[in-house]
């Protein structure tokens, strides 16, 4: 037996030496900490932050997309559609997903009528959403969809369509590519027309295509229809008459407005030049201007009836009072006021019939500036009518305290004061409604209007109707305003244009009248800017437009005639020297 006892593996002295106690505990604590951290993280994610995780998960496949609302229709007073929204498609892209081959890019660019460089620029955008083309026709959108390109999507939108085109352009206006009103009635009533878009939740596949409609979050609320006071037939009559006058007289611009004198409804509103709201690619500022409401001008002799009415109302004169017109000339300070034709004396009726500046000034001189200003203010001059149209002008009426004697004189016959055509048309309602001035309305009125104020007495208004009928008669300044079968009344206006603070040899010709005189139904106001074909007096240029519009409108409305049906041969004849002299101012 060996003196040394053998050493086995189990009794190795290295193993008999124990580990330090803190090391296993440290490891155990570390493992327990990691376990607790995992448990805490899991509890936090599943118990406290689950909404975020769910949202992140849904964002991979679920989308909320808008559901557009249909814009309300615009109709005329009889229900004929003037503006309607038609469904179209818009193509948009998610640039990171839109990985296209050169051939696919060329195909898509061709269908969208885009340059390949422009398409590539949009698809390389860092944005998550870009429009490629708005308001595509359904057929083109279908062909784009058939390509099945990744990252290229479509959505339904609406495009505004105007069946009457340029005939109703300035009244209706138009909308933007987002179907928001930009001009005219579209802007004035945008809050009612636009509606409220809705939204719905859908599930998309990895290519972005909708594979399931999950739920409707908010249904769309379509816009309300707007029923205008406009009569489409009368609108077309006014448009045709104005266009013909513009061509005949080679004018720069023109406007016509037709009012229902009983209700204040605007039955027609046209301007020239005009535009096609369905194709606005080459618009100019001149085409867009709604001159009836935005262009101010010196109305000339169409202002004279108000001075006569004021003198009658104050008892200063009677229709038969003779006014010495000083042979058609008078001097105020350094200025000389003259008439086109000289008369030694005229009655008040004759002053309006012959359109005497001198006679009108002598009536105006019987009043203080404050009294004249008060009448102009009550008639609505100097302030907008607040019809809701963009850019509506109020004209210019300076404070009475700043008037000089010559300015008071010239304002009596329509110089030194400016107004819009619609303001002049409205002011003439005091003659058709026995002295009452009523508000105007773009929309149809089903009940009686409420008069805003009484400006003149009923007796004065009736007297003025007779005077204005004489003024539009064979011996007045507007024989061409006559209509077969109807008694008409009105006043011509011819004013030099004011440019750069100086009067020029350019003219604005106008006429404001109403018919039938026995029971006034329509007021028609006409303005022709810069006629340049040899004639410029209101009786020769604007009065024939009134006759065509009023005659067509009265027959369209079925208004009974109140005069013998005798043909008016002179209406289409060239003016004789005597007639031309009558068609002045």
The residues assigned a catalytic role are 301
- Residues paired with 95 in a beta bridge: none
**Structure token pair of residue 46:** 């599943």
Return d(Cα 483, Cα 489) in angstroms, integer.
10
* DSSP assignment string, 519-540: S--EEEEEEEE---SS---HHH
Contacts of residue 122, Cβ cutoff 8 Å, sequence gap at least 6: 93, 95, 130, 132
Return d(Cα 112, Cα 132) in angstroms, integer.
8
In this structure, the number of other CB atoms found within 10 A of the CB of residue 415 comes to: 21
Residue 123 half-sphere exposure toward CB, CA atoms < 13 A? 24
* DSSP assignment string, 20-60: PTHHHHHHHHHHHHHHHHHHHHHHIIIIISHHHHHHHHHHT
Farthest CA pair distance, the chain:
173
Q: Which of 419, 532, 524 is nearest to 478 (CA)?
A: 524
211 membership: H or E segment, kind and range: strand 210-218
Return d(Cα 254, Cα 522) in angstroms, integer.
20
Return d(Cα 553, Cα 134) in angstroms, integer.
41
Please say whether the beta carbons of 299 and 493 come within 8 A. yes
Residues 182-212 as b or e (16 or more Cβ within 10 Å = b): ebbbbbbbbeebbbebbebebebeeeeeeee
Cα angle 563-581-535, degrees, rounded to a multiple of 5: 95
Q: Look-up: residue for tokens 């004061």?
A: 417
**Structure token pair of residue 209:** 């295509």
Q: Which of 366, 364, 361, 359 is nearest to 327 (CA)?
A: 359
123 membership: H or E segment, kind and range: helix 116-123
Residue 327 half-sphere exposure toward CB, CA atoms < 13 A? 0
Return d(Cα 485, Cα 560) in angstroms, integer.
9
């Amino acid at each position: 037996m060996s003196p040394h006892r053998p050493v086995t593996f189990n009794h190795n002295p290295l193993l008999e030496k124990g580990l330090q106690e803190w090391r296993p505990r440290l490891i155990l604590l570390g493992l327990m900490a990691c376990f607790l951290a995992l448990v805490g993280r899991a509890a936090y994610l599943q118990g406290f932050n689950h909404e975020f995780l769910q949202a992140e998960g849904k964002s991979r496949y679920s989308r909320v997309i808008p559901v557009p609302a249909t814009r309300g229709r615009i109709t005329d007073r009889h229900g004929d559609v003037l503006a309607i929204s038609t469904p179209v498609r818009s193509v948009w892209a998610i640039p990171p997903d839109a990985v296209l081959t050169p051939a696919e890019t060329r195909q898509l660019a061709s269908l969208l009528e885009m340059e390949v460089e422009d398409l590539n620029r949009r698809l390389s955008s860092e944005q998550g959403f870009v429009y490629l083309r708005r308001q595509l026709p359904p057929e083109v959108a279908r062909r784009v969809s058939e390509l099945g390109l990744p990252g290229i999507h479509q959505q339904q939108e609406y495009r505004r369509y105007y069946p009457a085109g340029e005939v109703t352009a300035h009244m209706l206006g138009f909308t933007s590519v987002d179907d928001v009103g930009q001009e005219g009635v579209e802007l004035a009533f945008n809050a009612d027309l636009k509606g409220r878009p809705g939204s719905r939740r859908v599930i998309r596949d990895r290519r972005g295509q909708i594979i399931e409609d999950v739920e409707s979050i908010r249904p769309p609320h379509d816009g309300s229809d707007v029923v205008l006071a406009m009569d489409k037939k009368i609108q077309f009559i006014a448009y045709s008459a104005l266009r013909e006058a513009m061509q005949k007289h080679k004018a720069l611009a023109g406007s016509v407005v037709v009012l229902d004198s009983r209700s204040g409804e605007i039955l027609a509103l046209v301007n020239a030049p005009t535009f096609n709201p369905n194709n606005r690619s080459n618009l100019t500022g001149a085409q867009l201007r709604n001159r009836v409401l935005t262009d101010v001008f010196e109305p000339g002799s169409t202002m004279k009836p108000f001075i006569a009415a004021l003198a009658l109302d104050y008892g200063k004169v009677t229709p038969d009072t003779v006014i010495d017109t000083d042979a058609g000339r008078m001097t105020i300070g350094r200025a000389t006021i003259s008439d086109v034709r000289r008369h030694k004396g005229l009655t008040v009726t004759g002053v309006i019939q012959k359109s005497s500046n001198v006679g009108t000034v002598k009536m105006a001189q019987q009043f203080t500036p404050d009294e004249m200003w008060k009448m102009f203010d009550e008639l609505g001059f100097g302030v907008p009518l607040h019809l809701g149209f963009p850019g509506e002008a109020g004209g210019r009426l300076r404070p009475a305290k700043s008037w000089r004697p010559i300015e008071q004189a010239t304002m009596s016959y329509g110089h030194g004061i400016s107004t819009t055509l619609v303001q002049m048309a409205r002011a003439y309602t005091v003659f058709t409604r026995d002295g009452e001035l009523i508000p105007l309305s773009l929309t149809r009125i089903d009940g009686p209007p409420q008069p805003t104020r009484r400006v003149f007495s009923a007796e004065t208004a009736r007297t003025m109707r007779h005077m204005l009928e004489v003024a539009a008669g064979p011996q007045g300044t507007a024989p061409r305003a006559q209509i077969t079968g109807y008694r008409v009344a009105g006043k011509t206006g011819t004013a030099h244009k004011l440019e750069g603070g100086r009067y020029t040899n350019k003219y604005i010709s106008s006429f404001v009248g109403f018919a039938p005189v026995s029971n006034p139904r329509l007021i028609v106001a006409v303005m022709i800017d810069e006629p340049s074909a040899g004639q410029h007096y209101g009786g020769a240029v604007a009065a024939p437009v009134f006759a065509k519009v009023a005659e067509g409108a009265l027959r369209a409305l079925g208004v009974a005639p109140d005069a013998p049906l005798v043909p008016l041969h002179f209406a289409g004849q060239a003016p004789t020297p005597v007639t031309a002299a009558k068609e002045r101012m």
